[in-house]
């Protein structure tokens, strides 16, 4: 169901360019949308974009994974200064496993040991009903 506010539709794919997936989040406000507009491009394929994290493997890219955690934490603080209210049902204290499996998988989709690659995002608005 498309809740009042904004909805984003995010397309991602797996590590070898297959298994496309589309996820939708609705009931978002403008601040939420701005957060995702800044966050998701960080997950373009790192093979083609050296500053991105899409397609990182936990075993071989630990430094990139740790950097992802730092960047995500800083973005959360930037867009959600009251950190405890943002995704209050998630426990970020378990570092990268919590971020990947409970947060990023929600918007990018799940991958066994890697971050899925961000392909595109569409934004929809439902303000009145």
Q: Is the pLDDT of residue 96 over 60?
A: no
Mean pLDDT for the chain overall = 77
Decide: 8 and 28 in contact? Cβ < 8 Å.
Answer: yes
Q: Which residues contact 99 (CB under 8 A, 6 or more apart)?
A: 68, 69, 72, 92
pLDDT tens for each residue of 17-51: 788 999 999 899 999 999 999 989 988 887 787 77
Per domain, the residue ranges of the chain are: 5-126
At residue 3 the predicted structure's pLDDT band, cuts being 50, 70 and 90, is: confident
pTM equals 0.78
How much is the pLDDT for 8?
A: 94
- CA atoms of 9 and 26, how far apart (whole Å): 9
How much is the pLDDT for 87?
A: 53
């Amino acid at each position: 169901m498309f809740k009042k506010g904004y909805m984003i539709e995010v397309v991602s794919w797996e590590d070898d360019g297959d298994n496309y997936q589309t996820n939708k989040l609705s009931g978002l406000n403008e601040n939420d949308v701005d957060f995702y507009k800044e966050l998701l491009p960080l997950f373009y394929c790192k093979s083609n974009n050296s500053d991105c994290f899409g397609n990182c493997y936990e075993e071989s890219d630990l430094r990139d994974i740790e950097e992802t955690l730092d960047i995500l934490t800083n973005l959360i603080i930037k867009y959600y200064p009251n950190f405890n209210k943002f995704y209050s049902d998630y426990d970020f204290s378990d570092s990268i496993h919590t971020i990947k499996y409970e947060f990023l998988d929600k918007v990018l989709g799940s991958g066994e040991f890697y971050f899925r690659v961000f392909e595109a995002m569409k934004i929809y608005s439902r303000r009145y009903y």
